[in-house]
Amino acid sequence: GQSLEQPSEVTAVEGAIVQINCTYQTSGFYGLSWYQQHDGGAPTFLSYNALDGLEETGRFSSFLSRSDSYGYLLLQELQMKDSASYFCAVRLGGSQGNLIFGKGTKLSVKP
Partner 1 sequence: KAGVTQTPRYLIKTRGQQVTLSCSPISGHRSVSWYQQTPGQGLQFLFEYFSETQRNKGNFPGRFSGRQFSNSRSEMNVSTLELGDSALYLCASSLVKTGDEQYFGPGTRLTVT
**Side chain identity at 59, as an amino acid letter?**
R
Residues 15-54, one symbol each (x = binds partner 1 by CB under 8 A, - = not), give ---------------xx-x-x-----xxxxx--x-x----
Q: Are the beta carbons of 10 and 22 closer than 8 angstroms?
A: no
7 lies in the binding site for partner 1 (CB under 8 A): no
Q: Which residues 52-91 are close enough to bind partner 1 by CB under 8 A?
A: 87, 89, 91
14/67 Cα distance (integer angstroms): 33
CB atoms within 10 A of CB 2: 13
Residues within the interface to partner 1 (CB under 8 A): 30-31, 33, 35, 41-45, 48, 50, 87, 89, 91, 96-104
